Amino acid sequence: MSGSEPGPLDPRGPVLAVTMWAGTWLGIQGRPEALAGCAAAGALTLVWSRGRRLAGAVGMLLLCCLLTAGLRSAVTHAGPVPDWARERAVVEVEAVVGPGRLSTATRWGAFWSAPARLESVRGRGQHWALGQQVRLVASGEAAPVWSRLVPGSRVHATVRLEPAEPQEPVGAVARAREPPQLVAEPGWVDQGVHRVREGLRQAVAGLPAEPRSIVPALVVGDTARVGPELQERFRVTGLTHLMAVSGANLTLLLASLLWLARRLGARGWWLRGIAVVGVAGFVVLCHSEPSVLRAAAMGAVGLAALGWGGRAQGLRYLSWAVIGLLMLDPWLASSAGFALSVVASAGIIAFARSWTDALAGWLPRGLAEALAVPLAAQVATQPIVSALSGQLSLVGVLANVAAGPLVGPTTVLGFGCAALGWLLPGPAVALGWLAGWGAQALCWIAALGAALPAAAIAWPATPSGIAVLIGLGAATYLVLGRLLRHRWLIMSLAAVLVLVLARPWAVPGWPPPDWQVVQCDVGQGSASVVAVEPGAAIVVDTGPEPVALERCLAALGVRRVPLLVVTHFHADHIGGVPALAGREVAAVLESTGRPGADQVAGQLPGAQPIAAAPGLALQVGRVRVVVVSTLPASTAAWGDAEESSAENDSSVVTRIDTGRIVVLATGDIETAGQAAALASGQPLAADVLIVPHHGSARQSPELFAAAAAQVALIGVGENSYGHPSGTALRELGQAGSAIYRTDTQGSVAVTRTDAGLQVTTERPG
């Protein structure tokens, strides 16, 4: 980086890029009223723009984006495959499978998803040869089998087609109903990429579990081995971007290649050629997905802007990159990852150079640059991150600053490891060992940051809340450049921030001092807490990971858990069990003998297992817990494998009476499980209902009527399942229940007062 002063900004590029983005986003939504309104606005702009070239360009671009994006969306969602998907047809397909992702941190266990191109479809007496793009998914025991396919493989399988969302770049979702039958091996390019990626995995296989999973994630975005707890630590500390293919990866790769090429004597067009080869190799190695193309463009923009141009030139490059990417893939307009990449690049281009110059007055320039770049990206992207998560990461800036100097060397060593892994395993293992030290340090930073009591605080994901963050970010950009020049001031501010993080951050009024029931905000999952006595509470399910549950229990002051109720063993209900390991769990009420029971027992070795059975009554202090129903898994009605209806319907349903409040906790029961509860003969009337299955559409109005709950609590987070459904919300309203949900209101507490039930939410929503 040079220390040149930033030049004047030309607004034309950013204005056209924003116009392209808005028009493309509206075009792919498929909403006639939005299209008509935007088309009218574009036409009026054209009429008004006489003599105003920028306004005329905006109007013309808006109309063109609406037309092209709308047509591409219409073509994608038209034809026999989308028609069959609306009928949920079961068909036989031959498909070329793209790069997939396997996750075990889902509510039904293992889940695999990949883009695929349908070469032929046979069903309902018809046979079509086509090139329709679909999203192919498999779950349960089938997921690991599908995940072993090399990208580019041609397979035959029976699938069930389902409609895709209008804003998805696929014509349907194809849910696998059987293992794949290999028809043809992938081509030599796909085979070579697979060998390189597999060589990277093998080279780091001897590392401890956490760095072993982080090195491939840093280099090529391979997160298959990253566990849910580690993912949550990186999310809380604002380091998730390190585990995704981003422009930073490419910038580091190109910077390393060009540095080496210069040392070997390359100059002029040779350097440009090496850069082009580096970009092409990066795209191929990372499977040429839209996110990879986005990362390649953002990385090239960042390198060009920071290396060869000023701020104005960099924003011009960025604007044209945005326009070009949206022309290639209009569905990027609705991608949160695309928005984060663009905004982070804009922040780096606009401020990283001047902030580096300020820090270089009292730090080595290389270290100053390593600190300034992630700091600029963090401040720029915080409004988007908070809008997505409903949280403000106080530790994010410090974590990114601490991680900044480690990311570059670790990623470059990882690229070297990948390059040598399939040719020279010995040197590759040595490079992997060195990269592992950096990755381990990143894991320690994430663990330390996530453990701080005030690592993240709830923040309203409302227009006004996000506007406040945007204002704070703008103010930060205005003053930080001056502040960074003063060593002792910055060190004092950092010390103050550390002290703030070390103390629990109490949201005003949260939690209420006499809370009796709390639905914790644990993301897409469920965890409920019922007070027994000061410092002790019954916990019903634990959510998908321990960090969020730990934060909730710490805020509530829960030190002992005399009873843990495990409704069923899906990951979004038992993933947070490690948060209870130090809280004296006395007993676990569960369906013993099920897959997952051993996992819970292994994490809570001192807890007494209690087999749930209909009618079983337990007295926990002054609280009475009665098992209403639990279906044996063998008799629960199986639906599709991806829904795991049998496990859902076998959830342990309990009625918990504290003497002041009655709670009906229902797990994930669907129609069969709800019918069993209604037929149990046990009383179902309750003050508070933990709504079944995160508010899915599979509900029984009779259960809501029988419970007649004043308050309905829905444990839910960001998800693609449509939770909570409009059907469930409507039926709860008809039953007279006031609805509270953790995705919009954070944790929810219910208290009995002389005036009746009082509900306190962690954040407005």
Q: What is the pLDDT of residues 249-258, one digit of tens each?
A: 666 666 666 7
Q: What is the pLDDT of residue 451?
A: 74
Is the Cβ–Cβ distance between 572 and 596 less than 8 Å? no
**CA distance readout (Å), 165 to 78, 154, 169, 173, 193:** 13, 25, 9, 9, 31
Tell whether the model's pLDDT for residue 388 goes beyond 90. Answer: no
Least confident of 16-30, 468-482, 556-570, 603-617: 16-30
C-alpha to C-alpha distance for 117 and 721, rounded to whole angstroms: 23
What confidence tier does 38 reach under pLDDT thresholds 50, 70, 90? Answer: low
Q: What is the pLDDT of residue 155?
A: 92
Select the highest-mean-pLDDT range: 74-88, 116-130, 735-749: 735-749
- Could you tell me which residues come within 8 angstroms of residue 755 by beta carbon, excluding any fewer than 6 positions away? none
Tell whether the model's pLDDT for residue 223 goes beyond 90. Answer: no
Identify the H or E element spanning 114: strand 111-123
What residues form DSSP beta bridges with 135? 115, 173
What confidence tier does 5 reach under pLDDT thresholds 50, 70, 90? Answer: very low
Task: Tell me the mean pLDDT in the region 101-120.
Answer: 73
**Token digits of residue 483:** 């502040």
Least confident of 148-157, 201-210, 443-452: 443-452
Task: Tell me the mean pLDDT in the region 420-437.
Answer: 87
Mean pLDDT for all residues in the chain: 81
Tell whether the model's pLDDT for residue 164 goes beyond 50. Answer: yes
Q: What is the pLDDT of residue 562?
A: 96
**Phi, psi of 511, deg, nearest 5:** -80, 160
DSSP 511: S
Task: Tell me the mean pLDDT in the region 486-501.
Answer: 77
Task: Tell me the mean pLDDT in the region 190-218.
Answer: 85
Task: Tell me the mean pLDDT in the region 37-51.
Answer: 62
Q: What is the pLDDT of residue 642?
A: 42
In the chain, % of residues over pLDDT 90: 23
Task: Tell me the mean pLDDT in the region 654-660.
Answer: 95
**Phi, psi of 611, deg, nearest 5:** -75, 125
**Token digits of residue 681:** 């003969």
Tell whether the model's pLDDT for residue 44 goes beyond 90. Answer: no
Is the Cβ–Cβ distance between 118 and 81 less than 8 Å? yes
Q: How many CB atoms lie within 10 A of CB 163?
A: 17
Q: Is the dihedral of CA 720, 721, 724, 725 positive or negative?
A: positive
C-alpha to C-alpha distance for 602 and 698, rounded to whole angstroms: 33
Task: Tell me the mean pLDDT in the region 133-160.
Answer: 86
Distance between the two ends of the chain, CA-based, in angstroms?
44
Q: What is the pLDDT of residue 755?
A: 84
Q: What is the pLDDT of residue 249?
A: 61
C-alpha to C-alpha distance for 63 and 691, rounded to whole angstroms: 45
Closest of 667, 666, 670 to residue 639, by C-alpha: 670
Residue bearing the bigger pLDDT, 525 or 412: 525
Q: What is the pLDDT of residue 526?
A: 94
What confidence tier does 640 reach under pLDDT thresholds 50, 70, 90? Answer: very low
**CA distance readout (Å), 383 to 316, 374, 391:** 23, 15, 10
Is the Cβ–Cβ distance between 625 and 654 less than 8 Å? yes
Over residues 665-697, the pLDDT tens digits come to 999 999 889 999 999 999 999 999 999 999 988
Q: Is the dihedral of CA 384, 389, 395, 398 positive or negative?
A: negative
When computed from its CA atoms, the radius of gyration of the chain, rounded to whole angstroms, is: 27
Q: What is the pLDDT of residue 342?
A: 82
Least confident of 642-646, 679-683, 697-701, 717-721: 642-646
Q: What is the pLDDT of residue 305?
A: 52
Task: Tell me the mean pLDDT in the region 65-82.
Answer: 77
| Amino acid at the residue 173 | V
Q: How far is CA 57 from the centre of its chain?
A: 36
Q: What is the pLDDT of residue 297?
A: 63
Tell whether the model's pLDDT for residue 264 goes beyond 90. Answer: no
Residue bearing the bigger pLDDT, 279 or 485: 485
Least confident of 151-155, 407-411, 658-662, 751-755: 407-411
- Could you tell me which residues come within 8 angstroms of residue 203 by beta carbon, excluding any fewer than 6 positions away? 417, 418, 420, 421, 425, 428, 429, 431, 432
Over residues 85-106, the pLDDT tens digits come to 888 888 889 999 988 877 665 4
C-alpha to C-alpha distance for 423 and 421, rounded to whole angstroms: 6
Q: What is the pLDDT of residue 748?
A: 95
What confidence tier does 187 reach under pLDDT thresholds 50, 70, 90? Answer: confident
Reported in sequence order, the residue ranges of 455-600 that DSSP labels E, i.e. its strands, are 456-458, 517-519, 528-533, 536-540, 564-565, 587-590
DSSP 714: E
Q: What is the pLDDT of residue 413?
A: 85
Residue bearing the bigger pLDDT, 527 or 451: 527
Q: What is the pLDDT of residue 25?
A: 84
Q: What is the pLDDT of residue 638?
A: 36
What confidence tier does 327 reach under pLDDT thresholds 50, 70, 90? Answer: confident
Tell whether the model's pLDDT for residue 511 goes beyond 90. Answer: no
Tell whether the model's pLDDT for residue 17 goes beyond 50. Answer: yes
**Token digits of residue 307:** 């290396």
| Amino acid at the residue 492 | S
Q: What is the pLDDT of residue 643?
A: 46
Task: Tell me the mean pLDDT in the region 632-645.
Answer: 50
In the chain, % of residues over pLDDT 70: 82
Residue bearing the bigger pLDDT, 348 or 714: 714
Q: What is the pLDDT of residue 247?
A: 58
Least confident of 82-91, 149-158, 703-712, 732-741: 82-91
Widest pairwise Cα distance in the chain = 85
Q: What is the pLDDT of residue 301?
A: 61
Tell whether the model's pLDDT for residue 366 goes beyond 70. Answer: yes
Q: What is the pLDDT of residue 520?
A: 95
Q: How many CB atoms lie within 10 A of CB 547?
A: 27
Tell whether the model's pLDDT for residue 543 goes beyond 70. Answer: yes
Task: Tell me the mean pLDDT in the region 441-466.
Answer: 78
Tell whether the model's pLDDT for residue 311 goes beyond 70. Answer: no
What confidence tier does 302 reach under pLDDT thresholds 50, 70, 90? Answer: low
The CA dihedral of 385, 389, 394, 398, to the nearest 10 degrees, is -50
Over residues 391-412, the pLDDT tens digits come to 777 777 778 778 877 877 888 8
Q: What is the pLDDT of residue 109?
A: 56
Q: What is the pLDDT of residue 2?
A: 43
